[in-house]
Chain A
Amino acid sequence: MKEIFKITVSLTAVCIVASLILGFVYAKTEHARKLNEEKIEQDTIQSLLGYGKGKTPPSDLRVYPVYRYVINSAEGETFLGYVLPLKDKKVALVKMDLSGNPVKVFPIEADLSSLSDKATRDAAVDAVLPKGSKSVYAQTIFVADLGDKRLGYVVPGITQGFKTFIKLMVALNPDFTVTGVAVTYSEEDPGLGAEIQKDFFRNQFVGKTLDFLKKLTVVKEPLPASYAIALDPAKAKKKGLSAEQVKEIKAKHVNDNIYALTGATISSRALTSGVVNTVKKFVYRLDKLNEAVKKDQLSIAF
Protein backbone atom coordinates (compact mmCIF):
# COMPACT_ATOMS: atom_id res chain seq x y z
CA MET A 1 0.00 0.00 0.00
CA LYS A 2 2.79 2.34 0.89
CA GLU A 3 4.56 1.64 -2.39
CA ILE A 4 1.62 2.66 -4.53
CA PHE A 5 1.68 6.13 -2.95
CA LYS A 6 5.39 6.42 -3.57
CA ILE A 7 4.93 5.47 -7.23
CA THR A 8 2.05 7.89 -7.69
CA VAL A 9 3.90 10.76 -6.07
CA SER A 10 7.07 10.01 -8.03
CA LEU A 11 5.34 9.87 -11.41
CA THR A 12 3.27 12.97 -10.66
CA ALA A 13 6.43 14.85 -9.68
CA VAL A 14 8.14 13.82 -12.94
CA CYS A 15 5.14 14.99 -14.94
CA ILE A 16 4.88 18.31 -13.10
CA VAL A 17 8.57 19.08 -13.53
CA ALA A 18 8.39 18.18 -17.23
CA SER A 19 5.32 20.34 -17.81
CA LEU A 20 6.89 23.26 -15.94
CA ILE A 21 9.98 23.09 -18.15
CA LEU A 22 7.82 22.87 -21.28
CA GLY A 23 5.67 25.78 -20.15
CA PHE A 24 8.73 27.90 -19.44
CA VAL A 25 10.33 27.13 -22.82
CA TYR A 26 7.04 27.74 -24.63
CA ALA A 27 6.52 31.11 -22.95
CA LYS A 28 10.10 32.15 -23.75
CA THR A 29 10.02 31.11 -27.41
CA GLU A 30 6.40 31.77 -28.44
CA HIS A 31 6.86 35.38 -29.53
CA ALA A 32 10.02 34.77 -31.57
CA ARG A 33 8.51 31.68 -33.19
CA LYS A 34 5.40 33.62 -34.22
CA LEU A 35 7.52 36.36 -35.79
CA ASN A 36 9.49 33.75 -37.71
CA GLU A 37 6.32 32.06 -38.93
CA GLU A 38 4.96 35.38 -40.14
CA LYS A 39 8.22 36.11 -41.93
CA ILE A 40 8.18 32.68 -43.58
CA GLU A 41 4.57 33.30 -44.66
CA GLN A 42 5.51 36.66 -46.18
CA ASP A 43 8.47 35.08 -47.99
CA THR A 44 6.25 32.27 -49.30
CA ILE A 45 3.71 34.76 -50.65
CA GLN A 46 6.43 36.82 -52.34
CA SER A 47 8.11 33.81 -53.91
CA LEU A 48 4.73 32.50 -55.13
CA LEU A 49 4.11 35.84 -56.81
CA GLY A 50 7.45 35.46 -58.59
CA TYR A 51 9.61 37.63 -56.34
CA GLY A 52 11.48 34.96 -54.42
CA LYS A 53 14.99 34.95 -53.08
CA GLY A 54 17.35 37.35 -54.79
CA LYS A 55 14.63 39.26 -56.60
CA THR A 56 13.46 42.54 -55.14
CA PRO A 57 9.76 43.12 -55.67
CA PRO A 58 8.89 46.28 -57.64
CA SER A 59 7.93 49.29 -55.54
CA ASP A 60 4.36 49.36 -56.87
CA LEU A 61 3.61 45.79 -55.75
CA ARG A 62 0.76 45.88 -53.24
CA VAL A 63 -0.48 42.82 -51.40
CA TYR A 64 -3.88 43.27 -49.74
CA PRO A 65 -5.14 40.77 -47.19
CA VAL A 66 -8.82 39.78 -47.13
CA TYR A 67 -9.83 38.09 -43.91
CA ARG A 68 -12.69 35.61 -44.01
CA TYR A 69 -14.81 35.02 -40.92
CA VAL A 70 -17.67 32.67 -40.09
CA ILE A 71 -20.32 34.52 -38.07
CA ASN A 72 -22.94 32.83 -35.93
CA SER A 73 -25.75 35.23 -35.11
CA ALA A 74 -27.66 35.26 -31.83
CA GLU A 75 -30.62 33.57 -33.56
CA GLY A 76 -28.40 30.62 -34.52
CA GLU A 77 -28.00 31.49 -38.21
CA THR A 78 -24.64 31.25 -39.93
CA PHE A 79 -23.20 34.08 -42.01
CA LEU A 80 -19.91 34.78 -43.70
CA GLY A 81 -17.91 37.90 -43.08
CA TYR A 82 -15.12 39.41 -45.17
CA VAL A 83 -12.84 42.09 -43.78
CA LEU A 84 -12.00 44.18 -46.83
CA PRO A 85 -9.47 46.98 -47.20
CA LEU A 86 -11.12 50.06 -48.73
CA LYS A 87 -9.63 53.10 -50.42
CA ASP A 88 -8.35 55.90 -48.15
CA LYS A 89 -7.01 53.25 -45.77
CA LYS A 90 -10.46 52.40 -44.41
CA VAL A 91 -11.63 48.90 -43.57
CA ALA A 92 -15.10 47.35 -43.81
CA LEU A 93 -16.69 44.08 -42.79
CA VAL A 94 -19.07 42.65 -45.42
CA LYS A 95 -21.56 40.23 -43.94
CA MET A 96 -23.30 37.84 -46.32
CA ASP A 97 -25.51 34.78 -45.96
CA LEU A 98 -24.37 31.31 -46.96
CA SER A 99 -25.66 31.58 -50.54
CA GLY A 100 -23.65 34.75 -51.04
CA ASN A 101 -26.31 37.48 -50.74
CA PRO A 102 -24.88 40.50 -48.93
CA VAL A 103 -26.64 41.33 -45.68
CA LYS A 104 -24.92 44.39 -44.31
CA VAL A 105 -21.67 46.33 -44.43
CA PHE A 106 -20.06 47.43 -41.20
CA PRO A 107 -17.27 50.03 -41.29
CA ILE A 108 -14.36 49.13 -39.00
CA GLU A 109 -12.56 51.98 -37.28
CA ALA A 110 -9.05 50.63 -37.46
CA ASP A 111 -5.87 50.78 -39.47
CA LEU A 112 -5.40 47.85 -41.86
CA SER A 113 -1.86 47.14 -40.68
CA SER A 114 -3.00 46.85 -37.05
CA LEU A 115 -5.51 44.19 -38.12
CA SER A 116 -2.75 41.76 -39.13
CA ASP A 117 -2.61 40.80 -35.46
CA LYS A 118 -5.28 38.15 -34.95
CA ALA A 119 -6.37 39.18 -31.45
CA THR A 120 -6.82 42.85 -32.46
CA ARG A 121 -8.72 41.85 -35.58
CA ASP A 122 -11.04 39.44 -33.75
CA ALA A 123 -11.87 42.17 -31.23
CA ALA A 124 -12.50 44.72 -34.00
CA VAL A 125 -14.84 42.34 -35.85
CA ASP A 126 -16.75 41.43 -32.68
CA ALA A 127 -17.11 45.12 -31.78
CA VAL A 128 -19.01 46.06 -34.96
CA LEU A 129 -21.24 42.97 -35.09
CA PRO A 130 -24.66 43.02 -33.35
CA LYS A 131 -24.62 41.79 -29.77
CA GLY A 132 -24.81 38.02 -29.33
CA SER A 133 -23.05 37.17 -32.60
CA LYS A 134 -19.96 35.04 -32.50
CA SER A 135 -17.25 35.30 -35.14
CA VAL A 136 -14.61 32.71 -35.92
CA TYR A 137 -11.60 33.48 -38.09
CA ALA A 138 -11.35 31.13 -41.09
CA GLN A 139 -8.56 32.21 -43.47
CA THR A 140 -6.74 35.05 -45.15
CA ILE A 141 -6.71 35.52 -48.91
CA PHE A 142 -4.07 37.75 -50.44
CA VAL A 143 -4.79 39.92 -53.48
CA ALA A 144 -1.75 41.26 -55.27
CA ASP A 145 -1.74 44.33 -57.51
CA LEU A 146 1.10 45.66 -59.59
CA GLY A 147 0.36 49.34 -60.04
CA ASP A 148 -3.22 49.45 -61.30
CA LYS A 149 -3.10 45.99 -62.76
CA ARG A 150 -4.18 42.82 -60.98
CA LEU A 151 -1.14 40.58 -60.58
CA GLY A 152 -2.88 37.61 -59.00
CA TYR A 153 -4.11 35.95 -55.85
CA VAL A 154 -2.48 33.84 -53.16
CA VAL A 155 -4.97 31.52 -51.50
CA PRO A 156 -4.25 29.31 -48.49
CA GLY A 157 -5.84 25.89 -48.24
CA ILE A 158 -5.84 22.84 -46.04
CA THR A 159 -6.25 19.19 -46.91
CA GLN A 160 -6.04 15.77 -45.28
CA GLY A 161 -2.62 14.26 -45.88
CA PHE A 162 -1.23 10.80 -45.10
CA LYS A 163 -0.86 11.37 -41.36
CA THR A 164 -2.16 14.83 -40.56
CA PHE A 165 -3.19 18.00 -42.38
CA ILE A 166 -1.25 19.52 -45.23
CA LYS A 167 -1.40 23.30 -45.34
CA LEU A 168 -0.77 24.77 -48.75
CA MET A 169 -0.82 28.03 -50.66
CA VAL A 170 -1.86 28.39 -54.27
CA ALA A 171 -0.96 31.40 -56.40
CA LEU A 172 -3.34 32.23 -59.24
CA ASN A 173 -3.19 34.77 -62.02
CA PRO A 174 -6.28 36.93 -62.79
CA ASP A 175 -7.64 34.20 -65.13
CA PHE A 176 -7.37 31.64 -62.30
CA THR A 177 -4.52 29.73 -63.91
CA VAL A 178 -2.19 28.27 -61.29
CA THR A 179 1.13 30.11 -61.14
CA GLY A 180 2.59 28.38 -58.11
CA VAL A 181 1.95 25.97 -55.27
CA ALA A 182 3.73 25.91 -51.89
CA VAL A 183 3.38 23.51 -48.98
CA THR A 184 3.58 25.56 -45.79
CA TYR A 185 3.02 22.77 -43.29
CA SER A 186 3.01 18.99 -43.56
CA GLU A 187 4.08 15.97 -41.58
CA GLU A 188 4.40 13.54 -44.47
CA ASP A 189 7.13 10.89 -44.16
CA PRO A 190 10.60 12.10 -45.15
CA GLY A 191 11.80 10.45 -48.35
CA LEU A 192 8.27 9.40 -49.33
CA GLY A 193 5.34 11.79 -48.92
CA ALA A 194 7.53 14.75 -47.99
CA GLU A 195 8.65 14.83 -51.65
CA ILE A 196 5.45 16.81 -52.34
CA GLN A 197 7.45 19.87 -51.22
CA LYS A 198 10.08 19.32 -53.93
CA ASP A 199 10.12 21.57 -56.99
CA PHE A 200 9.60 18.76 -59.49
CA PHE A 201 6.30 17.84 -57.86
CA ARG A 202 4.91 21.27 -56.92
CA ASN A 203 5.71 22.79 -60.30
CA GLN A 204 3.56 20.19 -62.08
CA PHE A 205 0.57 22.33 -61.07
CA VAL A 206 1.92 25.47 -62.72
CA GLY A 207 0.07 26.45 -65.89
CA LYS A 208 -3.03 24.38 -65.20
CA THR A 209 -6.11 26.42 -66.15
CA LEU A 210 -9.29 26.50 -64.09
CA ASP A 211 -11.20 24.34 -66.59
CA PHE A 212 -8.43 21.75 -66.68
CA LEU A 213 -8.06 21.83 -62.90
CA LYS A 214 -11.68 20.78 -62.47
CA LYS A 215 -10.97 17.41 -64.10
CA LEU A 216 -7.38 17.03 -62.91
CA THR A 217 -6.44 13.56 -61.62
CA VAL A 218 -3.34 11.75 -60.41
CA VAL A 219 -1.81 9.11 -62.69
CA LYS A 220 0.49 6.34 -61.50
CA GLU A 221 2.96 6.70 -64.33
CA PRO A 222 6.63 7.62 -64.15
CA LEU A 223 7.39 11.29 -64.63
CA PRO A 224 8.95 11.74 -68.11
CA ALA A 225 12.69 12.41 -67.67
CA SER A 226 12.86 15.61 -69.72
CA TYR A 227 9.79 16.99 -67.93
CA ALA A 228 11.35 16.20 -64.54
CA ILE A 229 14.44 18.23 -65.47
CA ALA A 230 12.38 21.16 -66.77
CA LEU A 231 10.30 21.24 -63.58
CA ASP A 232 13.34 21.60 -61.33
CA PRO A 233 15.08 24.95 -61.97
CA ALA A 234 18.34 23.74 -60.38
CA LYS A 235 18.50 20.66 -62.62
CA ALA A 236 17.55 22.61 -65.74
CA LYS A 237 20.38 25.02 -65.05
CA LYS A 238 22.86 22.18 -64.57
CA LYS A 239 21.78 20.47 -67.79
CA GLY A 240 22.26 23.77 -69.59
CA LEU A 241 18.68 24.13 -70.77
CA SER A 242 17.78 27.62 -71.91
CA ALA A 243 14.67 29.33 -70.61
CA GLU A 244 12.96 28.73 -73.94
CA GLN A 245 13.72 25.03 -73.96
CA VAL A 246 12.29 24.73 -70.43
CA LYS A 247 9.21 26.63 -71.52
CA GLU A 248 8.80 24.37 -74.54
CA ILE A 249 8.99 21.16 -72.51
CA LYS A 250 6.57 22.54 -69.95
CA ALA A 251 4.15 23.63 -72.68
CA LYS A 252 4.22 20.10 -74.10
CA HIS A 253 3.13 18.65 -70.75
CA VAL A 254 0.81 21.42 -69.59
CA ASN A 255 -2.28 19.29 -70.13
CA ASP A 256 -0.83 16.20 -68.45
CA ASN A 257 -2.36 14.98 -65.23
CA ILE A 258 -0.27 14.97 -62.06
CA TYR A 259 2.35 12.20 -62.00
CA ALA A 260 2.17 10.45 -58.62
CA LEU A 261 5.28 10.18 -56.47
CA THR A 262 6.80 6.71 -56.32
CA GLY A 263 5.69 5.12 -53.05
CA ALA A 264 3.58 8.10 -51.99
CA THR A 265 0.38 7.99 -54.03
CA ILE A 266 -1.76 9.05 -51.06
CA SER A 267 0.29 12.20 -50.43
CA SER A 268 0.28 13.01 -54.17
CA ARG A 269 -3.50 12.64 -54.32
CA ALA A 270 -3.89 14.67 -51.11
CA LEU A 271 -1.97 17.67 -52.43
CA THR A 272 -3.72 17.47 -55.82
CA SER A 273 -7.21 17.40 -54.34
CA GLY A 274 -6.15 20.11 -51.91
CA VAL A 275 -5.06 22.41 -54.72
CA VAL A 276 -8.17 21.68 -56.82
CA ASN A 277 -10.59 22.24 -53.95
CA THR A 278 -8.81 25.37 -52.75
CA VAL A 279 -8.99 26.94 -56.21
CA LYS A 280 -12.61 25.88 -56.82
CA LYS A 281 -13.79 27.28 -53.48
CA PHE A 282 -11.82 30.47 -53.96
CA VAL A 283 -13.22 31.16 -57.42
CA TYR A 284 -16.76 30.69 -56.11
CA ARG A 285 -16.16 32.91 -53.09
CA LEU A 286 -14.47 35.64 -55.08
CA ASP A 287 -17.40 35.71 -57.48
CA LYS A 288 -19.85 36.17 -54.59
CA LEU A 289 -17.64 38.76 -52.98
CA ASN A 290 -17.37 40.77 -56.20
CA GLU A 291 -21.16 40.71 -56.53
CA ALA A 292 -21.55 41.98 -52.98
CA VAL A 293 -18.99 44.72 -53.52
CA LYS A 294 -20.80 45.86 -56.67
CA LYS A 295 -24.21 45.84 -54.98
CA ASP A 296 -23.10 47.92 -52.03
CA GLN A 297 -20.90 50.15 -54.21
CA LEU A 298 -17.89 49.77 -51.97
CA SER A 299 -14.67 51.32 -53.19
CA ILE A 300 -12.25 48.53 -52.35
CA ALA A 301 -8.56 49.16 -52.35
CA PHE A 302 -7.63 46.50 -54.92
Chain B
Amino acid sequence: MNRNIKLLWNGLIPENPIFRLALSMCPAVAVTTSVENGLMLGLAVIFVQVFSSCTVAIFKSFIHPRIRIPAYVIVIALWVTVIDMILPVISPDVYKKVELFVKLIVVFAIIISRLELFASKEPLVPSFFDGLGMGIGFLFGLCLTGAIREFFGTGQIFGFDILGFNPLLIMVLPAGGFFVIGFIMAAFNYIEYKLTGKIPSSGGAH
Protein backbone atom coordinates (compact mmCIF):
# COMPACT_ATOMS: atom_id res chain seq x y z
CA MET B 1 0.00 0.00 0.00
CA ASN B 2 2.81 2.30 0.99
CA ARG B 3 4.52 1.80 -2.34
CA ASN B 4 1.34 2.59 -4.25
CA ILE B 5 0.99 5.98 -2.57
CA LYS B 6 4.66 6.59 -3.31
CA LEU B 7 3.99 5.84 -6.98
CA LEU B 8 1.13 8.32 -7.04
CA TRP B 9 3.33 11.01 -5.45
CA ASN B 10 6.18 10.08 -7.78
CA GLY B 11 4.09 10.92 -10.85
CA LEU B 12 2.84 14.16 -9.34
CA ILE B 13 6.13 15.87 -8.36
CA PRO B 14 9.45 13.93 -8.45
CA GLU B 15 8.82 12.53 -11.94
CA ASN B 16 6.21 14.97 -13.20
CA PRO B 17 5.78 14.13 -16.92
CA ILE B 18 5.99 17.74 -18.09
CA PHE B 19 8.33 19.47 -15.67
CA ARG B 20 10.73 16.64 -14.77
CA LEU B 21 10.58 14.04 -17.56
CA ALA B 22 9.92 16.70 -20.24
CA LEU B 23 7.67 14.29 -22.15
CA SER B 24 4.62 15.18 -24.28
CA MET B 25 5.71 18.79 -24.53
CA CYS B 26 3.94 19.41 -27.86
CA PRO B 27 0.38 18.97 -26.53
CA ALA B 28 1.39 20.65 -23.27
CA VAL B 29 2.39 23.81 -25.14
CA ALA B 30 -0.36 23.68 -27.76
CA VAL B 31 -3.38 23.05 -25.57
CA THR B 32 -2.72 24.98 -22.36
CA THR B 33 -4.10 28.35 -23.40
CA SER B 34 -6.70 28.02 -20.64
CA VAL B 35 -7.24 26.00 -17.46
CA GLU B 36 -10.33 24.34 -18.90
CA ASN B 37 -8.45 23.00 -21.93
CA GLY B 38 -5.70 21.67 -19.66
CA LEU B 39 -8.22 20.01 -17.37
CA MET B 40 -10.05 18.28 -20.24
CA LEU B 41 -6.86 16.97 -21.85
CA GLY B 42 -5.56 15.89 -18.44
CA LEU B 43 -8.72 13.89 -17.72
CA ALA B 44 -8.57 12.22 -21.12
CA VAL B 45 -4.91 11.30 -20.55
CA ILE B 46 -5.65 9.82 -17.09
CA PHE B 47 -8.23 7.45 -18.62
CA VAL B 48 -6.04 6.32 -21.49
CA GLN B 49 -2.91 6.02 -19.33
CA VAL B 50 -4.60 3.93 -16.64
CA PHE B 51 -6.39 1.62 -19.08
CA SER B 52 -3.28 1.13 -21.23
CA SER B 53 -1.01 0.51 -18.24
CA CYS B 54 -3.41 -2.10 -16.84
CA THR B 55 -3.83 -3.82 -20.21
CA VAL B 56 -0.08 -4.07 -20.76
CA ALA B 57 0.53 -5.20 -17.18
CA ILE B 58 -1.99 -8.05 -17.59
CA PHE B 59 -1.00 -9.19 -21.06
CA LYS B 60 2.76 -8.48 -20.97
CA SER B 61 3.67 -12.19 -21.10
CA PHE B 62 1.82 -12.55 -24.43
CA ILE B 63 3.65 -9.67 -26.09
CA HIS B 64 6.90 -10.72 -27.78
CA PRO B 65 9.66 -8.35 -26.57
CA ARG B 66 10.78 -7.58 -30.13
CA ILE B 67 7.40 -6.16 -31.15
CA ARG B 68 6.51 -4.53 -27.86
CA ILE B 69 6.48 -0.96 -29.25
CA PRO B 70 3.98 -1.62 -32.07
CA ALA B 71 1.92 -3.68 -29.64
CA TYR B 72 1.86 -0.77 -27.14
CA VAL B 73 0.82 1.63 -29.89
CA ILE B 74 -2.06 -0.71 -30.78
CA VAL B 75 -3.10 -0.92 -27.12
CA ILE B 76 -3.11 2.89 -26.78
CA ALA B 77 -4.93 3.37 -30.10
CA LEU B 78 -7.46 0.74 -29.04
CA TRP B 79 -8.31 2.52 -25.81
CA VAL B 80 -8.42 5.93 -27.46
CA THR B 81 -10.82 4.64 -30.11
CA VAL B 82 -12.97 2.78 -27.60
CA ILE B 83 -13.31 5.92 -25.47
CA ASP B 84 -14.01 7.93 -28.61
CA MET B 85 -16.87 5.55 -29.49
CA ILE B 86 -18.37 4.97 -26.03
CA LEU B 87 -18.26 8.51 -24.65
CA PRO B 88 -20.73 10.08 -27.14
CA VAL B 89 -23.23 7.37 -26.17
CA ILE B 90 -22.80 7.76 -22.41
CA SER B 91 -22.63 11.55 -22.33
CA PRO B 92 -22.86 13.59 -25.56
CA ASP B 93 -22.31 16.88 -23.67
CA VAL B 94 -19.02 15.78 -22.12
CA TYR B 95 -17.95 14.24 -25.41
CA LYS B 96 -18.50 17.52 -27.24
CA LYS B 97 -15.97 19.12 -24.91
CA VAL B 98 -13.27 16.41 -24.84
CA GLU B 99 -13.72 15.13 -28.41
CA LEU B 100 -10.76 17.06 -29.80
CA PHE B 101 -8.48 16.14 -26.91
CA VAL B 102 -9.18 12.40 -26.92
CA LYS B 103 -8.16 12.12 -30.57
CA LEU B 104 -4.80 13.79 -29.86
CA ILE B 105 -3.69 11.19 -27.33
CA VAL B 106 -2.54 8.27 -29.52
CA VAL B 107 0.87 9.82 -30.15
CA PHE B 108 1.68 11.03 -26.63
CA ALA B 109 5.21 10.09 -25.57
CA ILE B 110 4.35 9.96 -21.87
CA ILE B 111 1.91 7.05 -22.26
CA ILE B 112 4.18 4.82 -24.31
CA SER B 113 7.17 5.62 -22.08
CA ARG B 114 5.27 4.54 -18.95
CA LEU B 115 4.22 1.31 -20.69
CA GLU B 116 7.83 0.63 -21.68
CA LEU B 117 9.49 1.68 -18.41
CA PHE B 118 6.95 0.50 -15.86
CA ALA B 119 3.89 -1.50 -16.91
CA SER B 120 5.90 -4.00 -18.98
CA LYS B 121 7.92 -5.01 -15.89
CA GLU B 122 5.54 -4.65 -12.96
CA PRO B 123 2.31 -6.44 -11.95
CA LEU B 124 -1.18 -5.01 -12.31
CA VAL B 125 -1.68 -3.04 -9.06
CA PRO B 126 1.54 -0.98 -9.11
CA SER B 127 1.00 -0.36 -12.84
CA PHE B 128 -2.46 1.00 -12.10
CA PHE B 129 -1.09 3.42 -9.49
CA ASP B 130 1.84 4.41 -11.68
CA GLY B 131 -0.54 5.15 -14.56
CA LEU B 132 -2.88 7.07 -12.28
CA GLY B 133 0.01 9.02 -10.74
CA MET B 134 1.45 9.93 -14.12
CA GLY B 135 -1.99 10.94 -15.36
CA ILE B 136 -2.58 13.15 -12.33
CA GLY B 137 0.90 14.62 -12.70
CA PHE B 138 0.18 15.44 -16.33
CA LEU B 139 -3.18 16.97 -15.37
CA PHE B 140 -1.47 19.03 -12.65
CA GLY B 141 1.19 20.24 -15.11
CA LEU B 142 -1.38 21.19 -17.74
CA CYS B 143 -3.63 22.99 -15.26
CA LEU B 144 -0.73 24.94 -13.70
CA THR B 145 0.59 25.99 -17.11
CA GLY B 146 -2.91 26.73 -18.34
CA ALA B 147 -3.75 28.83 -15.28
CA ILE B 148 -0.62 30.98 -15.61
CA ARG B 149 -1.07 31.44 -19.33
CA GLU B 150 -4.78 32.20 -19.12
CA PHE B 151 -4.28 34.65 -16.25
CA PHE B 152 -1.49 36.61 -17.89
CA GLY B 153 -2.71 36.21 -21.45
CA THR B 154 -6.40 37.04 -21.10
CA GLY B 155 -6.81 38.20 -17.48
CA GLN B 156 -9.20 35.32 -16.78
CA ILE B 157 -9.24 32.06 -14.82
CA PHE B 158 -11.65 29.32 -15.95
CA GLY B 159 -13.24 31.88 -18.25
CA PHE B 160 -14.12 34.20 -15.33
CA ASP B 161 -12.87 37.72 -15.81
CA ILE B 162 -10.51 38.71 -13.01
CA LEU B 163 -8.43 41.58 -14.31
CA GLY B 164 -10.69 42.82 -17.10
CA PHE B 165 -7.77 43.41 -19.49
CA ASN B 166 -4.99 41.42 -21.19
CA PRO B 167 -1.69 42.03 -19.39
CA LEU B 168 0.53 39.97 -21.72
CA LEU B 169 -1.02 38.69 -24.94
CA ILE B 170 2.10 36.66 -25.81
CA MET B 171 1.24 34.23 -23.01
CA VAL B 172 -1.65 32.69 -24.97
CA LEU B 173 0.47 32.41 -28.12
CA PRO B 174 2.66 29.31 -28.60
CA ALA B 175 5.79 31.23 -27.55
CA GLY B 176 4.19 31.95 -24.18
CA GLY B 177 3.76 28.21 -23.61
CA PHE B 178 7.50 27.68 -23.91
CA PHE B 179 8.20 30.60 -21.56
CA VAL B 180 5.83 29.36 -18.86
CA ILE B 181 6.91 25.72 -19.00
CA GLY B 182 10.55 26.79 -19.02
CA PHE B 183 10.10 28.98 -15.96
CA ILE B 184 8.19 26.30 -14.03
CA MET B 185 10.86 23.74 -14.95
CA ALA B 186 13.54 26.11 -13.69
CA ALA B 187 11.61 26.58 -10.45
CA PHE B 188 11.36 22.80 -9.99
CA ASN B 189 15.09 22.40 -10.56
CA TYR B 190 15.93 25.29 -8.24
CA ILE B 191 13.82 23.82 -5.43
CA GLU B 192 15.41 20.42 -5.90
CA TYR B 193 18.86 21.98 -5.85
CA LYS B 194 18.05 23.84 -2.62
CA LEU B 195 16.65 20.69 -1.00
CA THR B 196 19.27 18.14 -2.06
CA GLY B 197 22.27 20.28 -2.94
CA LYS B 198 22.66 18.37 -6.24
CA ILE B 199 22.34 19.81 -9.74
CA PRO B 200 19.43 17.94 -11.40
CA SER B 201 20.26 15.80 -14.43
CA SER B 202 18.75 16.84 -17.72
CA GLY B 203 15.91 15.09 -19.56
CA GLY B 204 15.12 14.89 -23.26
CA ALA B 205 12.06 16.64 -24.66
CA HIS B 206 9.60 14.93 -27.00
Residue of B nearest to A21 (CB): B78
- Within the complex, the shortest CB–CB distance from A43 to chain B, in Å, comes to 10
- Which residues from chain A contact B30 at a C-beta distance below 8 Å? 189-192
CB of A175 closer than 8 Å to a CB of B: no
Asked if A3 and B92 sit within 8 Å, CB to CB, the answer is: no
Interface size on B, residues (CB 8 A): 34
A10 B62 Cβ-Cβ under 8 A? yes
Task: Confirm or deny: B103 has a beta carbon within 8 angstroms of a beta carbon on chain A.
Answer: yes
> Considering only CB atoms and an 8 Å cut-off, how many residues of chain A contact the other chain?
30
Most buried by B among A6, A14, A238: A14
CB distance from A168 to the nearest CB of B (A): 16
Does A25 count as interface, using CB distance less than 8 angstroms?
A: yes
Assess whether B174 is interfacial by the CB under 8 Å rule: yes
A36 partner residues in chain B, CB cutoff 8 A: 88-89, 92
> Could you tell me the distance between the alpha carbons of A10 and B81 in the complex, rounded to whole angstroms?
22
Chain B residues within 8 Å of A13, by CB: 62
A29 to B67, CA, bound (A): 31
A22 to B67, CA, bound (A): 21
A11 at the interface (CB under 8 A from B): yes
Contact A10–B67 (Cβ < 8 Å): yes
Could you say which residues of chain A place their CB within 8 Å of the CB of B82?
21-22, 25
Closest residue to B72 on the A side, CB-wise? A14
Interface string of A1-28 (1 = CB under 8 A from B): 0010011001101110010011001100
> A11 touching B70 by the CB < 8 A rule?
yes
Contact B63 A10 (CB under 8 A): yes
Tell whether, in the assembled complex, residue A263 and residue B89 are in contact, meaning their CB atoms are under 8 Å apart: no
Complex: how many Å from CA A13 to CA B63?
A: 10
A183–B65 Cα distance when bound, in Å, is: 45
Known: A190-B41, A263-B172. A15 touches B100 (CB 8 A): no
Contact at B33–A33, with CB atoms within 8 Å?
A: no
A128 is an interface residue with CB less than 8 A from chain B: no
Is there contact, CB below 8 Å, between A29 and B64? Answer: no
- Contacts A15-B74, A190-B37; is A26 near B85 (CB within 8 Å)? yes
Shortest distance from the beta carbon of A25 to any chain B beta carbon, whole Å: 5
Q: Report the minimal beta-carbon distance from B153 to chain A, rounded to whole angstroms.
A: 9
Asked if A14 meets B100 with Cβ closer than 8 Å, knowing A21-B82, A36-B92, the reply is no
Task: Output the least CB separation between A219 and chain B (Å).
Answer: 17
A41 to chain B, nearest CB (A): 12
A22 touches B81 (CB 8 A): yes
> What's the least CB distance linking B64 to chain A, in Å?
4
Within A246-265, which residues are at the interface with B (CB < 8 Å)?
262-263
The answer, yes or no, to whether A236 is at the interface (CB within 8 Å) is no
Q: Is B31 an interface residue (CB 8 A)?
A: yes
Q: Which of B64, B85, B161 is within 8 Å of A33, CB to CB?
A: B85
Q: Which of B62, B66, B100 contacts A3 (CB 8 A)?
A: B66
Interface hits, A161-217 → B, CB 8 Å: 187-192, 194
B86 with A7: CB separation less than 8 A: no
**B32 x A191 contact (CB < 8 A):** yes
Inter-subunit contact A14/B37 (CB<8 Å): no
Once A187-B103, A262-B172 are accepted as A-B contacts, the answer to whether A11 and B89 lie under 8 Å apart by CB is: no
Q: Digitize B75-88: 1 where CB-to-A-CB distance is under 8 Å, 0 elsewhere.
A: 10110011001101
Tell whether A119 is near chain B: CB-to-CB under 8 Å: no
Enumerate A120-171 residues with CB–CB distance to B below 8 Å: none
* Chain B residues with CB below 8 A from A25, complex form: 81-82, 85-86
Chain B residue at minimal CB-CB distance from A186: B100
Q: Does B187 contact A (CB under 8 A)?
A: no
**Of B37, B86, B100, most A-chain CB atoms within 10 Å:** B100
- Identify which of residues 70-121 in chain B touch chain A, using a CB-to-CB cut-off of 8 Å: 70-71, 74-75, 77-78, 81-82, 85-86, 88-89, 92, 100-101, 103
Nearest first, the 7 closest Cβ-Cβ pairs linking A and B are A191-B33, A10-B64, A32-B89, A18-B78, A11-B67, A29-B89, A36-B92
Interface residues of B (CB under 8 A from A): 30-34, 37, 40-41, 62-64, 66-67, 70-71, 74-75, 77-78, 81-82, 85-86, 88-89, 92, 100-101, 103, 161, 169, 172-174
30 A-B pairs whose Cβ atoms sit less than 8 Å apart in the complex: A7-B64, A10-B62, A10-B63, A11-B71, A18-B74, A18-B75, A18-B77, A18-B78, A22-B78, A22-B81, A22-B85, A29-B88, A29-B89, A33-B85, A33-B89, A36-B92, A39-B92, A40-B92, A189-B30, A189-B100, A190-B30, A190-B33, A190-B101, A191-B31, A191-B34, A192-B33, A238-B161, A262-B172, A263-B173, A263-B174
Residues on A lying within 8 angstroms of B by beta carbon are 3, 6-7, 10-11, 13-15, 18, 21-22, 25-26, 29, 32-33, 36-37, 39-40, 187-192, 194, 238, 262-263
